[in-house]
Amino acid sequence: MILAPTGSAAALLNGSTYHSALGINDRGSQSVKSLVQVCSRIEGVDYIFLDEVSMLSCHDIFKISSQLAKGTNEFEEPFGGINMIFAGDFAQLPPVKGAALYSGHVGTELQSRMNTKRQEETIGKALWHQITTVIILQENIRQKGQSPEDTKLRTALGNMRYKACTEDDLEFLRTRIAGKQPDKPKLAQKCFCNVSIITAWNAHKDQINKVGSERFAKETGQTLTTFYSKDQWAEDDEHNKQKRWKKRSIKNPRQKSNSLSSALQRALWELPRGSTEHILGKLSICMGMPVMLCQNDATECCITKGAEGTVAGWQSSIGSHGKLMLDTLFVKLSNPPKTVEIDGLPPNVVPITRHSTRTTCKLWNDEVLTVSGNQVLVLPNFSITDYAAQGRTRPNNVVELNNCRNHQSYYTCLSRSATAEGTIILQGFDTTKITGGAHGTLRQEFCELEILNEICKMRYDGVFPMHIDGHRCNILLHQFLLWKGTSYVLQQVHSAIRWSVSNPFVVKEVNDTKWHLPKGFSKNGSNKNTDHTTFTTAKGSIPLNQTNNPANDKKHKSDLDCEFPSKKQKVSHNIFNKSNKCKFTEIESSSSKKKKLVSGIQQNDRYLDEPQGLLWDSENYSCLMTLCFQLYGTFGLKTLVSGHEDFPECQKRDI
């Protein structure tokens, strides 16, 4: 089975996204029908190839393993006992959500203070550390040009992976900046016409798409046709109803129907894409205009998120507000991985229909509403973000680097180029973002992969000692360095990550947690604990409120192993009688007129000689008050307290 994190990457491999193949969604819930479908898909599968591993977070790895465990009904083995092959490049951008697999913010040891999601992230990173067979591919397939400029491009990209560009690299990159000088590349060249510009900010992408659409229509002698979305009030999300805590509660005003007023609908149409979760209220297109698909409809037909094409036609109708609505858009795919044949349509022409998408919109007055937007999910393709560019090969590559956040973004943008001649940089770049060396955790990951690659070669050649048998990454590396010595340095390692005797490579000795499903995780469907903010005790940890009494397993049990009234209840304390029993007298509250708790429990002998102060339980009483009463009882201040008028009678009796 071939999987990938995005639809465009999956289409290039003739595979599927791991979300669709394994039934993974952001809500965490899963129906029985979906689980049955997952079981049928992975039946008989021995190997799963997962591309673009740099896009996966620690939590994604856990979700993939848990879904495979459910599908195979094998919960004791990671990934349900299926062999996993990962491919990717950590020099590219980290995942959009969650911690990267090399992140230093997520460890591999469980702590009792972790909530459910933190436990799942920890287990996910521990799973990644179980992968000890590593092969580093050295041949560059994308940039195969043999010109001197192509050689300089390959060298610059190789150094940029480790944030270690040299002065020669910077000088070469400056030659690819667009300008008016005769020796500078020109963006007005025909080969760069209508090529999408890679940028880092969505706001810049939206503006470039708007200007590009108007320019394209003017150059081709056409008029842009604007199609409007059909919005309505969104129904309450049942998943959000189950949450006990949310970052921000968004409640729509009560309405008699789901229809929006004309004024509100016009306001939603005028909102920028950043205020509508990138769902277009108005889509302006014309024939032949470049567009990009924004929905994974059918991977087998190359109708995937990120697929590029041109407008081949459309079907429209008049909406309820008298505006044009797009019913079906026909798109001719550009260079699909395979030829797409659909009955009644030309080759590589696919239909894109409207989708209803739940969207959170922020109005100009900062009011936040939740609506269901109905629109064809495509965008003008005159600009894309650096995240959307991952996995592509572009013969003509125009990039805007000024707002790229780090060297990984620089590398992702520039490494899409197939040749140096087809690369153009707009407005220059910041040299400090691609020089100075990679940060610690990423550099550590690169070093570990290099050593694991060397170990794999030695095993293949039959020269690896048998006594080194670690099954975890850190254990195997520690054993290898003990065998080779701390002064051992690989020769083929890039100079930016090469260690030395003065700066040795250090492997931390930690005990990675074993694969398991956390407490509260359902094995036959959805996660029982849907609220990731709820505290769930990690497996193998001891709760802080646990005592030596095994029967004392409730939150507010005391050392006397009995239930006590709350702080607001009036309690009459009796001194222990001869039968060593503690009694609570039934009295009535002046406000509620309800009888309070009556309890009698055998008292342990070790409490007979201790002062009878108020009982403390981290919620009702302060430890400072308890300490004061203990001091009074210990130093014999009963006479002073009993004669003091400010102490209530119940506290005098306690002391």
Q: How far apart are CA 167 and CA 131, in angstroms?
A: 37
**Pick from 295, 276, 271: which is nearest to 234 by CA?**
276
What is the predicted pLDDT for the residue at 236?
A: 56
Q: How far apart are CA 389 and CA 141, in angstroms?
A: 17
Q: What is the 8-class DSSP label of residue 260? A: P
* Structure confidence by residue, pLDDT tens digits, 61-91: 999 999 999 999 888 899 999 999 999 999 9
Q: What is the mean pLDDT of residues 511-518?
A: 82
Asked if the model's pLDDT at residue 563 lies above 60, the reply is: no
DSSP bridge pairs for 378: 293
Angle between helices 407-414 and 148-160 (to 10 degrees): 150
The DSSP-derived string for 50-70 is E--GGG-BHHHHHHHHHHHHH
What is the predicted pLDDT for the residue at 525?
A: 57
**Pick from 295, 273, 305, 315: which is nearest to 355 by CA?**
295
Q: What is the mean pLDDT of residues 420-424?
A: 92
For the chain, helix, strand, coil in percent to 5 are 30, 15, 55
Burial class (CB in 10 A: 0-12, 13-18, 19+), 624: exposed
Binning pLDDT at 50, 70 and 90, where does residue 442 land? very high
Binning pLDDT at 50, 70 and 90, where does residue 113 land? confident
The DSSP-derived string for 121-180 is HHHHHHHHTT----------SS----SHHHHHHHHHHHHHTTT---HHHHHHHHTTB--S
CA torsion sign for 95, 101, 107, 111 is: positive
Q: Are 124 and 58 in contact (CB under 8 A)?
A: yes
* Structure confidence by residue, pLDDT tens digits, 591-628: 443 444 434 434 444 444 444 555 544 444 455 556 66
Higher pLDDT, 224 or 589: 224
Q: What is the mean pLDDT of residues 365-372?
A: 83
What is the predicted pLDDT for the residue at 546?
A: 44
* Structure confidence by residue, pLDDT tens digits, 480-494: 988 988 778 888 889
| 104-118, 259-273, 364-378, 533-547: the lowest-pLDDT one | 533-547
Question: What does the block give as tokens for 203?
Answer: 């706001």
What is the predicted pLDDT for the residue at 252?
A: 61
